[in-house]
Amino acid sequence: MRPESLFPLFAPVTSLAGVGPRIAALIERVAGARVANLLWHLPTGLIDRRYTPLIAEARAGAVATLTVTVDRHLVPRNRRQPYKVLCFDETGSIALVFFHARSEYLLRILPVGETRIVSGTIEYFGREVQMTHPDHVGTAGESQKLAAVESVYALTAGLSLRVLGKVIGEAVARAPDLPEWIEPHTLARAGWKTWREALIEAHAPEDEAALDPLAPARLRLAYDELLANQLALALVRAHTRRVPGRRIDGDGRLRARVREALSFPLTRSQEATQAEIAADQKSEHRMLRLLQGDVGSGKTVVALLAMLNAVETGAQAALMAPTEILARQHLATITPLAEAAGIETVLLTGREKGRNRERVLAKLASGDAALAIGTHALFQDDVAFRDLAVAVVDEQHRFGVHQRLHLAQKGGGADLLVMTATPIPRTLMLTAYGDIDVSRLTEKPAGRRPVETRAMPIQRLDAVVSAISRALADGAKVYWVCPLVEESEALDVAAAQERYQHLEQLFGARVGLVHGRMKAAEKDAVMAAFADGPVDVLVATTVIEVGIDVVSATIMVVEHAERFGLAQLHQLRGRVGRADKPSSCLLLYAPPLTQAARARLNILRETEDGFRIAEEDLRLRGAGELLGTRQSGVPEFTMADLAVHADILSIARDDARMIVESDAGLEGPRGRSLRVLLYLFERDAAVRFLRSG
């Protein structure tokens, strides 16, 4: 149960004064639906109202707080003209300007002859000093209420800074004093205050330095968030390790046949990774390992060898992919190798229906099928394996933690191997995959050639089309990637459908189109025609980013490359250069480029090292967008910034590991405080693992 001390923070925002349904909907859009969400919505800037000049001394463009006497109101003849209130002090006069004003309201707050405190931005219109729509108007007695420094928060249309600031102030006032979960020596060494003190300080910055993510108050809150994340992962890992594993140590006969059937030797990193996985399988604990490798680095072969190790012992293995296209591609790669080893492979996706599905399910239940390849259909309730010993999950970031564990549970503690072609920086690895051991494939198989990468302005489109025409005459196959399915007025980008029509006029039936809104059967038909049929130019959205393997494709054109993330561009480039033919990647961009977009394109031209590219992408774009879109497997942080807080992430990870080793049930004094931390950051599932033993 969530501790009672946290109840006020998990109440809806409507429990705060002045927050009705309309304001609540706006707050939910910008921060979240609960009071706690407002605590994590930290200021993005500040307005310093400590500048209090006389009117004659007020600088243009500065935010000033003035003490003035109201002289007279100039009411406009029609509502399209501004309403002016003329005021003065001993040095000069100022016009307070209001548009679409209500005169009765202004007469009430700015009565003639009275002294008022006004605060806002100073402007000069000719020789007249003006302040348009003052941020604050109050009496001399109310000047104490006027914050000397006002926090600025991210807003949404219809939500004013004054309203949100007041609501956040009330939310912060609700924050209780909580028991300390950080060790005293860590607090002292870092010079951090208590959680509540840090929260109050972070929401009341005194200067620009207080807005820095490395400012003490913000650093403390970021550490709390990262510690909750790392502790939750450590508890999941400990729970997973408690499930008894099985010792898998085959005799090697099937793996030897597959190695003979391969047309190339394994790379050094494939051999090393395969040895790491075999050692995991031999141990008494369940394997939980992530296999990272660029497109074309040979992950599937390594996974197949791990699966065959289990099959050699009489057990079964399964490989799950996020899409049907990718599942069928794995089937095409694995089937001839499995046949060389003399074992049967079956496919199970959402498309298998009726008798065919029943036949596949029967083979899995009886054990006649040693290898299964499929989509999430593999972990539906009616799918039963006779003896599942190894589960492989491809493109893990498209599945949540629970989905990957679900498939492994089909085997009662089956070993789990997770694969991804998206290189993941170490900091992101710790937050998304902290419960997993990691292996990396760092080489490309023999015979692969580097891809020549060039960036050019989109105005050179005709020259690109001419170059493609010449390449097609030499037998090339070409990908042409666009960022949208259909024309959007909001974004000045070429739509895939529009580009398809343009290229079809030039090259006729040799042009095909695939995008995410097509049915799976339609996509598969076009892909098959591109792989070994009459289609030589494939116009596509990013559905081709992951997994589609057409060895004969040698040219990749990415239109509006400035709109893609680095990792995404790297994945797209990996679709070509998969054989020994020279390959090229053309990045078309719309000038002028932003500094970040230029940096992305330059890095891509400099290197094909996916891990360096991933680190640069994290630095340039932040973790939230790293994988092109926000993915279910990656936690979103509100106060921690992985590009900035890598050092404290490592400290949090070590701390979490020591906590679980010394007090796995979180029963001691610090353990009980840490339970509060897990609930505070909504890591309730980790607490349930404690109770379930």
How far from chain centre, in Å, is Cα 148?
37
Contacts for 353 with CB less than 8 Å, ≥ 6 apart: none
pLDDT interval class at 405 (50, 70, 90): low
Predicted confidence at residue 489, as pLDDT, reads 47
Please give the average per-residue pLDDT across 399-428, as a whole number: 69
Please give the average per-residue pLDDT across 559-586, as a whole number: 86
Q: Which two tokens stand for residue 23?
A: 């304001």
Please give the average per-residue pLDDT across 58-62, as a whole number: 96
Q: Which two tokens stand for residue 563?
A: 């709109």
CA distance 346 to 385: 12
Please give the average per-residue pLDDT across 364-390, as a whole number: 91
Please give the average per-residue pLDDT across 453-480, as a whole number: 94
- Between 462 and 381, whose confidence is greater? 462
Q: Flag whether pLDDT at 434 surpasses 70.
A: no
297-314 burial: b if 16+ Cβ within 10 Å, else e:
bbbbbbbbbbbbbbbbee
pLDDT tens string 130-145: 999 999 999 988 777 7
CATH number for the domain whose boundaries are 269-441:
3.40.50.300
pLDDT tens string 321-342: 888 878 888 998 899 999 999 9
Q: Residue 564 class from Cβ within 10 Å (0-12 exposed, 13-18 middle, 19+ buried)?
A: buried
Strand order in the sheet with 511-514: 451-457, 583-589, 553-559, 477-481, 537-540, 511-514
Mean pLDDT score of the chain: 87
Given CATH 2.40.50.140, say whether it is the number of domain 50-146. Answer: yes
Q: Flag whether pLDDT at 364 surpasses 50.
A: yes
Spell out the SS3 assignment of 656-673: HHHHHHHCCCCCCHHHHH
Cβ–Cβ < 8 Å for 649, 430? yes
Predicted confidence at residue 633, as pLDDT, reads 44
Q: Residue 100 class from Cβ within 10 Å (0-12 exposed, 13-18 middle, 19+ buried)?
A: exposed
Please give the average per-residue pLDDT across 641-667, as a whole number: 90
DSSP string, 22-64: HHHHHHHHHT-SBHHHHHT---SEEEE------GGGPPTT-EE
pLDDT tens string 507-526: 999 999 988 778 877 887 88
Where does CATH 3.40.50.300 sit in the chain? Answer: 269-441, 451-607
CA distances from 433 to 234, 408, 411, 416 (A): 10, 16, 22, 13
Please give the average per-residue pLDDT across 618-628, as a whole number: 53
- Between 418 and 434, whose confidence is greater? 418
Predicted confidence at residue 396, as pLDDT, reads 55
Where does CATH 2.40.50.140 sit in the chain? Answer: 50-146
CA distance 316 to 115: 85
Predicted confidence at residue 411, as pLDDT, reads 62
Predicted confidence at residue 433, as pLDDT, reads 67
Cβ atoms within 10 Å of 614's Cβ, excluding its own: 23
Q: Dihedral sign for Cα 33, 34, 36, 39, please.
A: positive
Cβ–Cβ < 8 Å for 447, 580? yes
Q: Flag whether pLDDT at 87 surpasses 50.
A: yes
CA distances from 145 to 44, 54, 108, 139 (A): 22, 21, 19, 10
Please give the average per-residue pLDDT across 415-428, as a whole number: 79
CA distance 526 to 518: 10
* CATH architecture label of 451-607: 3-Layer(aba) Sandwich (3.40)
Sequence-ordered strand ranges (E) for 241-315 = 288-293
pLDDT tens string 195-218: 999 999 999 999 999 999 999 999
pLDDT interval class at 693 (50, 70, 90): very low
pLDDT tens string 379-403: 788 889 999 999 998 875 555 555 5
Q: Flag whether pLDDT at 545 surpasses 70.
A: no
pLDDT tens string 97-125: 999 888 999 999 999 999 999 999 999 99
Q: Flag whether pLDDT at 632 surpasses 60.
A: no
- For β-strands 345-348 and 128-132, DSSP reports them as unpaired
Q: Flag whether pLDDT at 627 surpasses 50.
A: no
Cβ–Cβ < 8 Å for 62, 51? yes
pLDDT interval class at 74 (50, 70, 90): very high
pLDDT interval class at 656 (50, 70, 90): very high
CA distances from 64 to 73, 131, 132, 249 (A): 22, 9, 12, 76
